[in-house]
Amino acid sequence: MSIDRLYKRVSEVGPICVGLDPNLSHMPAFTSSLNVEEAIFKYNKAIIDSTKDLVAVYKPQAAYYESAGLDGLKAYKRTLEYLRSNDCLIINDVKRSDISSTAAAYAKAYFSGDYEGDFLTLNPYMGLDSIEPYMEYVEKHNKGLFVIIKTSNPGSKDFEELMVEDMPLYNHIADRIREMDGNSVGTSGYRKIGYVIGATSKESGEGSRIRDRYGDVFFLVPGYGAQGGGREDALELLNDRNGGVINSSRGIIRAFESSDEDFETATRKAVLKMVEDFR
């Protein structure tokens, strides 16, 4: 199971997830003379080369590559190939939501071929039948899912936190996804389907309550750093420094903008600080 591989990697190096989100308006100087494809790929390669011994998993956000057109998608493909050649785990952050043959096509796109990764982020708000087409890859091809449950953005209160039968809507969704997953857990003790749980809780102790309720579910935790989530918020969502990965994107890949050091050194130092936070 992919979750077991990720659990093992976290136990070896810690729970750090780095978002590979190339914003063409915030690129280091060494990319300025390169075309878009080369600039994005060389940028990502520099991040990977300077941090791969410290990072459990990388999370490219597909929107940044799509927004750069065909050259961006070529760079995406090359980045994923480079990650796989370095035995790095990959979360394709696409947050897709659709049903039937369309969902099956998304699954094929991001679990095989040019954009193959180990995990995929999904939005479950269309219903359980929007998750089902991906399960073939989970069951037969050792792939993994992270399903959005409780996010880190202020707008999460608009729908996710609505009270339904004395319980937030996000709890109902998480409970149904866990039922869908059945009773099987891997050698790590975690289920095949993980949850996206943000680290910017507005309510004291909420993170601990979520962790206690879903003790056998692996979490992808966004919100740390630039989005306002702190060390304690994120730690609440882990199980003894495992059971989840903490994502940081801008706080790492744009660390060079507030540093006098070269891009690789600034990037590595930002990851090292995060490693120390969660040691």
Which DSSP category does 239 fall into? B
Please tell me the distance from the alpha carbon of residue 160 to that of residue 77, in angstroms, as a whole number.
33
The DSSP bridge partners found for residue 18 are 58, 248
Give the count of beta carbons closer than 10 Å to the beta carbon of residue 139. Answer: 12
Please tell me the distance from the alpha carbon of residue 150 to that of residue 89, in angstroms, as a whole number.
23
Find the catalytic residue in 95, 108, 269, 273: 95
Give the count of beta carbons closer than 10 Å to the beta carbon of residue 87. Answer: 8
Enter the tokens of residue 110. Answer: 């991001």
Give the count of beta carbons closer than 10 Å to the beta carbon of residue 101. Answer: 9
Q: Is 95 among the residues known to form the active site?
A: yes
Please tell me the distance from the alpha carbon of residue 78 to that of residue 69, in angstroms, as a whole number.
15
Catalytic residues: 95
